[in-house]
Amino acid sequence: MKNPYRVPLLALFLLLLSVFHAPIAAAAEPPKLDAANTAWMLTASVLVLFMTLPGLALFYAGLVRMKNVLSVLMQCFAITCIVTLAWVVVGYSLAFGDAGPLNAWYGGFDKVFLSGIDVKTVRGSIPETVFAMYQLTFAIITPALVIGAYAERVKFSGMLLFSLLWLLFVYCPVAHWVWGDGWLQKMGLMDFAGGTVVHLNAGIAALVCATVLRKRRDFPDTPILPHNMTMTVTGACMLWVGWFGFNAGSALAADGAAGMAMIVTHIGAATGAFAWIVCEWLRYGKPSALGAVTGMVAGLGTITPASGFVGPLGALAIGAAAGIVCFSATSYMKQTLKVDDSLDVFPVHGVGGMIGTTLTGVFVASTFGGIGYPEKVAMGDQVLTQVIGVLAVAAWSGVITWVILKISDAVAGMRVEAEEETEGLDTVLHNEKGYNP
Q: What percent of the chain has pLDDT over 90?
A: 90
Instruction: Average the pLDDT over 266-277 and give the result.
Output: 98
User: In sequence order, what are the residues at sequence separation of 6 or more whose Cβ sits closer than 8 angstroms to the Cβ of residue 201?
Assistant: 142, 170, 171, 174, 353, 393, 397
Instruction: Average the pLDDT over 264-289 and give the result.
Output: 97
Distances (CA, A) of 89 to 42, 49, 85, 116: 22, 19, 6, 13
Instruction: Average the pLDDT over 103-112 and give the result.
Output: 95
Residue 48: closest CA among 301, 246, 193, 240: 246
Contact assessment for residue 423 and residue 433, using Cβ atoms and an 8 Å cutoff: no
Q: Is the pLDDT of residue 256 over 80?
A: yes
Instruction: Average the pLDDT over 156-166 and give the result.
Output: 98
Q: Is the pLDDT of residue 25 over 60?
A: no
Domain residue ranges of the chain, discontinuous segments joined by +: 37-430
Distances (CA, A) of 200 to 97, 196, 390, 398: 23, 5, 8, 10
Q: How confident is the model at residue 28 (pLDDT cuts 50, 70, 90)?
A: low
Per-residue model confidence (pLDDT) at position 250: 97
What confidence tens digit (pLDDT) does each residue in 164-209 have?
999 999 999 999 999 999 999 999 999 999 999 999 999 999 999 9
Query: What CA–CA distance (Å, rounded) separates 190 from 305?
Result: 7
Which residue intervals of 151-196 are DSSP H helices? 156-166, 172-179, 183-187
Q: Is the pLDDT of residue 4 over 90?
A: no
Instruction: Average the pLDDT over 147-165 and give the result.
Output: 97
With b for 16 or more beta-carbon neighbours within 10 A and e for fewer, the 78-110 pattern comes to ebbebbbebbeebbbbbbbbebeeebbebbbee
CATH class as words, domain 37-430: mainly alpha
H-helix or E-strand containing 122?
Answer: strand 122-123
- Given phi > 0 = left and psi -120 to 50 = alpha, else beta, which region is 48? alpha
Distances (CA, A) of 302 to 202, 299, 405: 13, 5, 27
What confidence tens digit (pLDDT) does each residue in 295-323 have?
999 999 999 999 999 999 999 999 999 99
Q: Is the pLDDT of residue 15 over 60?
A: no
Q: Is the pLDDT of residue 345 over 90?
A: yes
For residue 182, with 0-12 CB atoms within 10 Å meaning exposed, 13-18 middle and 19 or more buried, which class applies?
buried
Query: What CA–CA distance (Å, rounded) separates 69 from 176?
Result: 34
Q: How confident is the model at residue 292 (pLDDT cuts 50, 70, 90)?
A: very high
Summary mean pLDDT of the chain? 93
Q: Is the pLDDT of residue 14 over 60?
A: no
pTM for the complete prediction? 0.92
Q: Is the pLDDT of residue 48 over 60?
A: yes
